A and B are shown apart, each in its own frame.
Chain A
Amino acid sequence: DTEVTQTPKHLVMGMTNKKSLKCEQHMGHRAMYWYKQKAKKPPELMFVYSYEKLSINESVPSRFSPECPNSSLLNLHLHALQPEDSALYLCASSPKSISDTQYFGPGTRLTVL
């Protein structure tokens, strides 16, 4: 298995909703990432987990809450989002650390109404 999977593919939510994005990889990778990508822009790093511990938080608002329950799973919990948070949310993983090549999932397209 050489892929990163993400669910759901699409998500529409209101500003008062709570939802979660899920990411899974079975490549034995120990670093996992959340990125946000707006249209026609490169991905922007949000969070990095290394060996299931949060190692980088790029000053992301607290309405985004990451969680790494085990070495294969990464969640992003969403609460009280704003319309400007609408974007493609990408998960990635790399074998050991941020110095390794990253492999991306297909993304979750989020729309906040």
Chain B
Amino acid sequence: QKEVEQDPGPLSVPEGAIVSLNCTYSNSAFQYFMWYRQYSRKGPELLMYTYSSGNKEDGRFTAQVDKSSKYISLFIRDSQPSDSATYLCATHTGRRALTFGSGTRLQVQP
């Protein structure tokens, strides 16, 4: 079993939709949670960073961590075609390097 599971998609939504991207993880020692956005042939760009459980909002993006169910989510409101990319969740314990999910490819149709 992978430590971090993520549906690879692709996920296709119309412009303006609310997008929900999700990951599950198995290691209860994970404490730090990140979402990266990666456009085709580019490096990953840090979108959101959260520590432990709770919500964090930044503009149209909301990251949510539920440590009791080992579930992390990224919500995108009013999605735009420019949001079309691969979204990678990542986590670490504070003592090891990042563990990535496999990435979800998102397509926002105009």
Taking beta carbons and an 8 Å cutoff, which residues of A are in contact with B? 4, 6, 33, 40-43, 45, 48, 56, 88, 90, 98-99, 101-107, 109
Contacts and interface: CB of A to CB of B under 8 A. Distances in A.
Given A56-B97, A98-B96, A99-B94, A43 B44 contact: yes
A104 B45 contact: yes
A101 B102 contact: no
A42 B46 contact: no
A90 B32 contact: no
Contacts, number: 53
7 contacts: A4-B43, A42-B100, A43-B44, A98-B92, A101-B49, A104-B36, A104-B46
A99 B95 contact: yes
A90 B100 CA distance: 14
Query: Which 3 A-B residue pairings sit nearest by Cβ, starting from the closest?
Result: A42-B100, A104-B43, A99-B94
B88 A107 contact: no
Nearest to A4: B43
Contacts of B96: 98
B100 A107 contact: no
Contacts of B93: 99
B85 interface: no
Interface string B43-54: 111100100000
